Structure 1
Amino acid sequence: MNVEKAILDAGYHLPLPPAAGGNYVPAKTVGKLVFLSGVISSDVNGVITGRAGDGCGVEEGYAAAQACVLTHLAVLRQHLGSLDAIKSIVSVNGYVNAVPEFADSPKVINGASDLLVKVFGEAGRHVRAAIGVSALPRNALVELQMIVEIE
């Protein structure tokens, strides 16, 4: 499977991978698993900010979650040398910057899950958590953390 072609065919492109923002690594391989540090939602204009339920809705969050997936894939390409080394997506933990009453965090994180399945097919199906939180770094709308299995 040519993952980068699937990304392009789906109408997306990979951003430059971000530098670590502290004393940690963006990705770490342990056996056949790659653990990815959390990435915040960003695009060519910078950090996608906001708070779900206070000026941002499910649609904005959905797009922000997709942006996080693209950033993770850029990190994986840099870490592995090729996205074709990915066998499956194992786990996604999604955090949504939200007001306490916002109950649609799962709908926001569907942006990440839907994109992963679109690109990887059945290998993109994963376990996940979708959690609303009171704040994220740099006022990001979404933060995502993933674990992937490699060949």
Structure 2
Amino acid sequence: MVAGKDLQPDGPERRLQDLGIQLPAAPTPFGTYVEALQTGKLLFLSGMLPVVDHKPKYLGRLGKELDVEAGRDAVYTAALGALATAKQYLGSLDRITRVVRLGVFMATHGDFLDQPKVADAVSDLFRDIFGIEKASVRLVIGVASLPLGMPVELEVIFEVAD
């Protein structure tokens, strides 16, 4: 039950249950900003980092301290935080009508070229939860560093129902 209503039979909340995914507590800011802001039908999330209990799960750069699998787990962790933030703000993920944009920023070293493989971990998760028909556009970028030395940061924009 969500806010006194039955879950949508094929909605994101039901898919999370079916996949056995429990969302963590929504992350809290590391600075002076809000985690989510809605304007019109768009919900913008602040950069989502791979944190658990306000502590980095991973530190370092892909291609040096971390490999592709660690990167995939890092973006998956950040994605769960994004979902928890959206749920806290909206009350239910069933209000999300589409994933509009997914930006995956990765701190990389040297000639690391597997950014798409890392980013696919969050794209696959969102596909499994929201459905392929609600897949987003995606931007994947390798950078020299990210906040607090973390390896990944996600930018997520959802379209939501009134």
Task: Tell me the TM-score normalized by structure 1.
Answer: 0.92
Q: Secondary structure at the match of 2:46?
A: strand
Supply the AA of the counterpart residue of 1:148. Answer: F
1:87 corresponds, among 87, 94, 97, to 97
In the TM superposition, structure 1's runs of 4+ consecutive aligned residues that sit over 3 Å from their partners are 43-46
Match status 1:37 vs 2:46: yes
Query: In the alignment, what sits opposite 2:37?
Result: 28
Deviations 1:6-35 (A, max 9, x none): 123223221111122222211111111101
Question: Which residues of structure 2 form unaligned runs of 5+?
Answer: 1-9
Supply the AA of the counterpart residue of 2:154. Answer: L
Query: In the alignment, what sits opposite 1:99?
Result: 109
**Counterparts of 1:64-83 in structure 2 under 5 Å?**
64-83=74-93
> Which whole-Å CA distance do the structure 2 matches of 1:96 and 1:130 have between them?
8
Query: In the alignment, what sits opposite 1:143?
Result: 153
1:120 corresponds, among 120, 130, 133, to 130
Does structure 1 conserve the Cα–Cα contact (< 8 Å) formed by 2:28 and 2:54? no
Superposed displacement of residue 105, structure 1:
1.1
> Which whole-Å CA distance do the structure 2 matches of 1:7 and 1:33 have between them?
22
Query: In the alignment, what sits opposite 2:25?
Result: 16
Q: Secondary structure at the match of 2:47?
A: strand
> Which whole-Å CA distance do the structure 2 matches of 1:126 and 1:93 have between them?
10
Task: Tell me the TM-score normalized by structure 2.
Answer: 0.86
Does structure 1 conserve the Cα–Cα contact (< 8 Å) formed by 2:27 and 2:54? no
Superposed displacement of residue 137, structure 1:
1.3
Instruction: Say which one has the larger Rg.
Output: 2
Superposed displacement of residue 76, structure 1:
0.5
Does structure 1 conserve the Cα–Cα contact (< 8 Å) formed by 2:11 and 2:130? no
Question: Which residues of structure 1 form unaligned runs of 5+?
Answer: none
Q: Secondary structure at the match of 1:38?
A: coil
Superposed displacement of residue 56, structure 1:
1.3
Superposed displacement of residue 134, structure 1:
0.9
Does structure 2 conserve the Cα–Cα contact (< 8 Å) formed by 1:89 and 1:123? no
Supply the AA of the counterpart residue of 2:139. Answer: A
Deviations 1:95-138 (A, max 9, x none): 11110311111211111101000111124411011111111112
